[in-house]
Structure 1
Amino acid sequence: MPVLRRALSVLKAPFVFVGKAYNDTAQKYPMYTGVVTTVIKTSAADLFAQKIVERREEVDWRRHGMFVLFGFGYLGCWQYYLYNDLFVRWCKPITALVGHRGSAPVKTFIDQCIHHPVLYFPSFYTLKGMVEGKPLSESMSEYREHLWDNCKALWMIWVPAQMVNFTVVPLHLRIPFVAGVSFAWTVVISCMRGALDKKKPAAEEDTAIMMESVVANAGAAPPIVARSSPIALQPLLFNAANASADSPQEAETSSPPGPPRPTPLSASS
């Protein structure tokens, strides 16, 4: 047992050192640390989406640069100001009265029911439209069409995550906490999407919609994955089913054409 404990201590030492150094830096420079962490996370999320999820041979650096700027300006600077300044001031009376546990539900409600639907998703869809070359009107139409689905998927992960964030995570680590959770969730959803692509192609659209909700603090990477609409998928699935189920029909089409068959009369003729 003493040998095992020493081995665990040796293995744990580098992680403890890095964690302590990161925490000390975040305490001294909370905004810079949060912004840099978010930029790195956004860059990693988009590269993960392009190379692993989309399996691109070459990285689209224009798209990557736009998302990194979005990570810097919105996910880093704006959300730091929102979470660490505005939320603190808005909820100061509640926090003074009932503590952080009492004000956490209020902050989570503002973040998830006002901030994301009203500010985040329009900003993201505008950026997404710019990357895809769409006009603003089409981007806003897509935003309105998927808003409810995005919010439902968003709330599944971010309501509990933000409750933890606003309750127990210190101010200087709130943005890094959001970045860590969002990147992990991006990877999980991307892996789930890969499994669904192999087993259930018809579910591609629903999964992509869930991934669009992940971009709330997730670096906005996975939603750019090209996807087919349900209307386009249905004929493909229908033809594939017919081709596999009607094997005699294949032999018939491959044989030389015979004389034309008489068209059967319909019941109404």
Structure 2
Amino acid sequence: MFAKSTFFLFVSSFTTTVVVTTCFSIPDVHQHIQSTIDFASTIHHTANVNENANSFTIASLTESFDPLSGYKELLKNHPLPTKMMTGATLAVCGDAIAQTQTATKNDEDEDSVFEYDKARGASFAVFDMAYRALQHFAFPIIVATCHGQYLGSILPDNNIIDTSQLAAMEQTLSSQLGIVPFLYYPAFFTVTGAIQGLTSSQALSRAKENFLPLMKRNLLFWIPVQFVQFGYIQEDLQIPFLSVAGLAWTFILSVYAGSAKTSVAPEKEMQNAVQEILDSDSTTTNVFDSATLVPANATATM
């Protein structure tokens, strides 16, 4: 701003000098300097006004663009669709990361192009949407039923564990030992298997193979997470909180049981191996039969 004032002062002085020289008159230096200073002050004031206006505009835009407040507003007005879409979006992201990592690990050819399995991603999206809807209706029932009274009656009477912590642990165990094994995994293997093109017998074989390993990992991962959810997260943000944590869990789930093709592959390989054995047995039997018949015919001829 000082540079601008100096520039205008120079221009004004030069112009005045030229005019005075032309008219053969002597300028009033004090009046000229004062007018120039007033002009520079006007420019400075105008610049400050514009700067303040710009700052106000930026502040207004910052206040209006508040993603968290907008998301909370969506949760308030449309809770179920918002929770379902949040879960589906993060589930697809977690599966996509798992697909990329698995392809990078298994692919020895660096020049090969990664092909995203759309059916696998869609199966995770549909399943997670359904499960978030189940949680939306099931969690209020769990919270209303479990207040820590069951664990409180089992544990010794002391003041070490707070009632709210007992309630959170009770609600967590109700979800992990009730909903997960009897609803979550049956729905997971059914929905993902159907979308990825498995038959009922193949889906059942896949569930038998992966259920126990996944259940162990499920308890280790989700018991601490859901304890925090029930104990410290406000009710309307609990399912979004689980969806964010589910991004990491979906990666684990997708790596170990995401692709139905890899789960069915051992079964197909076994069937092919058995078929090869049967074919080789059939060939061997024909060889032995031919070897037996030839000497017999030769003897008869002789």
Q: TM-score, normalised by structure 2?
A: 0.52
Are 1:171 and 2:171 matched, yes or no?
Answer: no
Q: Deviations over 1:96-116 (max 9, x none)?
A: x97542211111112111211
- Alignment-derived partner of residue 136 in structure 2: 80
Q: CA deviation at 1:30?
A: 3.0
Q: CA deviation at 1:64?
A: 3.0
Q: Could you tell me whether the CA contact under 8 Å between 1:104 and 1:166 is conserved in 2?
A: yes
Q: CA deviation at 1:183?
A: 0.3
Would you say how many aligned residue pairs link Structure 1 and Structure 2? 188
Unaligned runs of 5+ in 2: 1-58, 105-112, 153-161, 270-302
Are 1:125 and 2:180 matched, yes or no?
Answer: no
- Alignment-derived partner of residue 145 in structure 2: 90
Q: Deviations over 1:150-171 (max 9, x none)?
A: 1111111101001001111111
Give the distance between the partners of 2:260 and 2:242, measured in 1 at CA. Answer: 21
Counterpart secondary structure, 1:226: helix
Q: Structure 2 counterpart of 1:39, which letter? A: A
Q: Deviations over 1:27-55 (max 9, x none)?
A: 44433321221121122223333445336
- Alignment-derived partner of residue 42 in structure 1: 91
Counterpart secondary structure, 2:198: coil
- Alignment-derived partner of residue 202 in structure 2: 138
After superposing the two structures, state which structure 1 stretch, 123-132 or 112-121, moved more: 123-132
Residue 156 to residue 147, structure 1, CA distance change in 2 (3 Å): same
Q: Could you tell me whether the CA contact under 8 Å between 1:80 and 1:175 is conserved in 2?
A: yes
Q: Deviations over 1:87-139 (max 9, x none)?
A: 123226859x9754221111111211121111111111122322443321332
Unaligned runs of 5+ in 1: 1-9, 191-206, 213-221, 233-269
Q: Deviations over 1:168-223 (max 9, x none)?
A: 11111111111101103445x49xxxxxxxxxxxxxxxx95xx34xxxxxxxxx45
Give the distance between the partners of 1:142 and 1:79, measured in 2 at CA. Answer: 25
Are 1:53 and 2:102 matched, yes or no?
Answer: yes
Give the distance between the partners of 1:39 and 1:186, measured in 2 at CA. Answer: 11
Q: How does 1:194-233 map to 2 (within 5 A)?
A: 208=255, 211-212=256-257, 222-224=258-260, 226=262
Residue 89 to residue 54, structure 1, CA distance change in 2 (3 Å): same
> Looking at CA atoms only, which structure, 1 or 2, has the larger radius of gyration?
2
Give the distance between the partners of 1:69 and 1:151, measured in 2 at CA. Answer: 21
Given candidates 52, 57, 66, the residue that maps to 2:123 is 66
Structure with the bigger RCO (C-alpha within 8 Å, sep 6+) is 1
RMSD over aligned Cα atoms: 3.5
Residue 33 to residue 128, structure 1, CA distance change in 2 (3 Å): closer
- Alignment-derived partner of residue 106 in structure 1: 170
Counterpart secondary structure, 1:134: coil
Give the distance between the partners of 2:231 and 2:127, measured in 1 at CA. Answer: 27
Q: TM-score, normalised by structure 1?
A: 0.57
The percent identity for this pair of structures is 23
Give the distance between the partners of 1:226 and 1:40, measured in 2 at CA. Answer: 24
Residue 152 to residue 87, structure 1, CA distance change in 2 (3 Å): same
Give the distance between the partners of 2:117 and 2:205, measured in 1 at CA. Answer: 25
Are 1:33 and 2:75 matched, yes or no?
Answer: no
